[in-house]
Amino acid sequence: MPTLIVTLVHAKDLAIRDPIVKSSDPYIKFRIGTKSEWVKSSVVNKNLNPVYNEKLTVTSDVVDSLYVEVWDKDFIGSDDFMGWAEVDIVHLKKKKPTKLDLTLKDTESGQVTVILQAEDFGVDN
């Protein structure tokens, strides 16, 4: 089973989704392909430049693109969308960490920094 280790480092310049406090409570979720379960990070409250330094394991039945979505946690009502990115992981080098800055789409602003490591797929060195 393809296993990808995602180290979620930080995000910056994220969009405001809680206008009263001019901030957001961002968490970031990952999945490989469009059918797998999402793997979610923790929530950082009231921060548009959150630091996570969190390691997540994402698995899938197939090697496909990695999808990344950023959401604002709301404690009343449903969470608000803050952008997304798609990453080609098919060409990652096997077992070699690759650091990427992902620019978020379909939102006002934002960037997510991750380190990806393909555990059992990818290109042999």
Least distance from C-beta 1 to Ca ion, angstroms?
34
Number of neighbouring beta carbons within 10 Å of residue 88: 9
Least distance from C-beta 41 to Ca ion, angstroms?
15
What distances in angstroms separate CA 8 from CA 30, 37, 121, one per listed residue?
Answer: 10, 18, 20
Binding of Ca ion at residue 25 (CB under 5 A)?
yes
- Report the residue number, 25 or 64, with the smaller CB distance to Ca ion: 25
- Given 10, 18, 36, 90, the residue binding Ca ion (CB under 5 A): 18
Binding of Ca ion at residue 45 (CB under 5 A)?
no
Residues that bind Ca ion (CB under 5 A): 18, 25, 72, 74
